[in-house]
Structure 1
Amino acid sequence: MKRKLSFAPILFATLLFFALNAYVLSGLNTLNGSAYLNPIFWVFIIGLTFSLFYAIKQMRLQGVNRFFKIVSHAFLIVFVAEIVFALLLLLGDFYRFILALTSNFQADGYHWLPRNNYWVYFAFFMFCITVALFAYGITQGKYAYRVIKHTLYFDDLPANFEGFTLTQISDVHAGSFTNPKAVQRGIDMINAQKSDLFVFTGDLVNNAAEEIKPWIGHFAQIKAPFGQFSVLGNHDYGDYVKWPSESAKVNNLQQLKAYHKELGFRLLLDEHVELVKGDQKIILAGIENWGIGFGERGDLKKALQNTSIQDFKILLSHDPSHWDAQVKNNPSKIQLALAGHTHGMQFGIEAFGIKWSPVKYRYKHWAGIKTENGRYLNVNRGFGFLGFSGRIGIWPEITVIELKRKV
């Protein structure tokens, strides 16, 4: 039986969208009472909205193209900036209302106070700042690589590995890249760290293995004395697009695994390797993607087979939800887990002691170092980008971790 389409949510969203724009227009009219403002405003908003609907229709038929990216990002920028403007305008109007209630009852009745033009100008200024931030995030922010360094201390680190360094990147999403020079700058920054070990924690592509092909020459430049190792992320399995057949999907994954080898990455599929220095070793394990709501494929028990409780272990696992579910309390202690996946939602603020992103409402720990039960987790903010073709406040990350023994 075909499911009936409910128009109530669509009608509600339409009315809400109309109300938002009408309210924003009322604020603009406070600043500029031109007779031309209203028709220009509505022609722009309606034109942009219908362009988005058309772009979505074409995207469903032909896939994501340049027109869809331009229109969807333009709509997103205007919509978010309007929300910022409307919230500040509402705050000013609420203050006017309270002020009127407390001090403006006259003998001839209630009087509504005029808007404070300075406050409306401030709201419009913040509208412009929002547009500028998004413009920067789309043009520059998505390639504004940051090197973030951590020094971690362990009771049980083998002495020969004192000062051992590793570089981690995650979530390349090669199908989103458009700027070879910018990507090369990121690769050069990785190699400049001269770490002992390089690891990649999943999502090499958005959907199809061929996305990485134009970038093989870039990422194959990454070298480390103890090797380059990788795992798969949820996007690497091709679960989010329709394939002509199941065999085509399987072949895509096999091709992606072959590309990992071509990059010089040793792909760890529920297995581990021993990193040996002198007569001591540490275990580097990697599992297939395991994430709540994103496919629980990985087999940690298999990856740790033939290791001992006393071994010092580093785990590559794409999704940080795996750490909470299976790692932090595992009977066989895993001293350090490395993940990615969240991208920090590519939007947020990490400044002035504030660390916030909307992704925090989905993941308890979404970026940086977390320690619990004598074990560490690092969540990399991602090297690439997906969906929103930009980054604002949450910049692409190259993590460098130094292992030290507790004195």
Structure 2
Amino acid sequence: MIAFTRYAPELPGWPGDMVLRVVVLSDFHACHPFMDAAAIRAICARANALQPDIVLLLGDYASGPRFSRELAPAEWAGALATLSAPLGVHAVLGNHDYDNYSRADVSRGAVPAERALRDAGVAVYINSAVRITFEGRGFWLAGLGSQRAFHHGQSYDEPDLGLEDIAATLGQVTNDEPILLMAHEPDIFPDVPARVALTLSGHTHGGQIKLFGRTPVVPSKFRSRYVYGHIVEDGRHLLVSAGLGYSGLPIRFATKPEIVLLELGGRA
């Protein structure tokens, strides 16, 4: 059962009269039989029914759990192509979208997940930012490269495992309009400046398995600090989705997959 989770945060720097409906989807981990193209299309239909102004996809489209078979990028991307929003569908890549690829591979061209998304009409952000105009107002949408793109089993203490460049990304912003920042892994959050209105992440699956209120396994150097939900630190806002699919084992316990609706503005 996929949950529907609504957030309506008051964000610093976001104009109260700029009302924006954002659907957030993350961590599909497309595969047979747990997240095939039909399942993805059904999720997209539910997302479209929320009538979003914009859709944000937060990475890990590929790489299913154990006991699953790979779904070709063209299949899952074709299903995602059914998403519809006036301001478009926008995405970052996750660490699993780089599975079996090295930094040298990436330097020679896009990985299959990126190509498949672009072919499906989805805008892909890798350390880039774009100004979006909405009802006569503007905001910036930025997206980081995965911080764990090349982890391939190394510990979280290993340096230089990712593609993220937050300074270069935010350096593309040319005015004081609010910024929404997509970052697959929430571990970047301590380095995100207050200039960003909201950081949106996935990756953790909400812990995927919760026992007695605890999440024993969280793929983060911060453990449960950024495992799930709306988190505020020093006036800075982070939203972490529980995602939709599975990683490792095809099991979720007390952490439902979710479609997130984010409602911004509406306060004059």
Say yes or no: TM over 0.5: yes
In 2: Cα distance, 1:316 partner to 1:177 partner: 29
Q: Which amino acid aligns with 2:86?
A: P
State whether residues 52 and 85 of structure 2, in contact with CA within 8 Å, keep that contact through their aligned partners in structure 1.
Answer: yes
Any gaps of 5 or more consecutive residues in structure 1?
Answer: 1-143
Q: TM-score, normalised by structure 1?
A: 0.56
Change (3 A) 1:217 1:300: same
SS in 1 for 2:113: helix
Identical-residue share of aligned pairs (%): 24
CA contact (8 A) 1:370 1:378 kept: yes
Query: Which among 257, 260, 266 is matched to residue 399 of structure 1?
Result: 260
- Paired with 1:238 and 1:365, the residues of 2 have a C-alpha distance of 23
- Which aligned pairs between 1:170-319 and structure 2 lie closer than 5 A? 170-175=26-31, 177-178=33-34, 179-206=36-63, 211-239=72-100, 253-291=110-148, 292=156, 295-308=161-174, 310-319=176-185
CA distance in 2, matches of 1:381, 1:306: 29
Q: Identify the residue that residue 321 of structure 1 maps to in structure 2.
A: 187
CA deviation digits over 1:326-362, x for unaligned, max 9?
11xx2x611100001111232116xxxx743213672
Q: CA separation of 1:145/1:251 partners in 2, compared to 1, >3 Å: closer, same or farther?
A: farther
Separation in structure 2 between the aligned mates of residue 176 and residue 322 of structure 1, nearest angstrom:
32
Alpha-carbon contact 2:41-2:82 (below 8 Å) kept: no
Letter in 1 for 2:173: T
Q: Which residue of 1 aligns with 2:152?
A: none
Offset at residue 305 of structure 1 (A): 1.8
Contact kept, 8 Å, 2:3 with 2:256, in 1: the verdict is yes
**Equivalence for 1:43:** none
Task: Summarize the Cα distance change of 1:372–1:265 in structure 2 as closer, same or farther, 3 Å threshold.
Answer: same
**Distance of aligned partners of 1:184 and 1:168 in 2 relative to their CA distance in 1, 3 Å threshold:** same
Aligned length: 250
How far 1:145 sits from its partner (Å)? Answer: 1.2
Structure 1: distance between partners of 2:256 and 2:4: 10
Alignment-derived partner of residue 357 in structure 1: 215
1:178-206 alpha-carbon deviations (Å, 9 max, x no partner): 45544333222111111111001111112
Q: In the superposition, relative to structure 1, how do residues 285 and 190 fare at CA in structure 2: closer, same or farther (>3 Å)?
A: same
Output one character per residue of 1:344-394: Cα deviation in whole Å (capped at 9) or x when no partner. Answer: 232116xxxx74321367231201110122221111111111221122211
Whole-Å separation in 2 of the counterparts to 1:323 and 1:167: 21
For 2:85, give the aligned amino acid.
Answer: A
- Look at both structures and tell me which one has the larger radius of gyration over its CA atoms: 1
8 Å contact kept, 1:201–1:318? yes
Q: Does 1:157 align with 2:18?
A: no
1:369–1:259 CA distance, 2 compared to 1 (3 A)? same
* In 2: Cα distance, 1:398 partner to 1:346 partner: 15
More helix by share: 1
Structure 2 stretches of 5 or more lacking a match?
Answer: 149-155
Matched residue type, 1:358: P
User: 3-state SS of the aligned residue for 1:364?
Assistant: helix
In structure 1, give the amino acid aligned to 2:8: T
Partner Cα separation in structure 2 for residue 183 and residue 256 of structure 1: 15
Are the equivalent residues in 2 in contact too, given 1:238–1:252 (CA < 8 A)? no
Of 299, 310, 335, which aligns to 2:197? 335
- Whether the 8 Å CA contact 2:126–2:144 is kept in 1: the answer is yes
Match of 1:369, as an amino acid? H
Shift of 1:160: 4.8
CA drift at 1:250: 6.5
- Aligned in 2, Cα 1:176/1:320: closer, same or farther, shift over 3 Å? farther
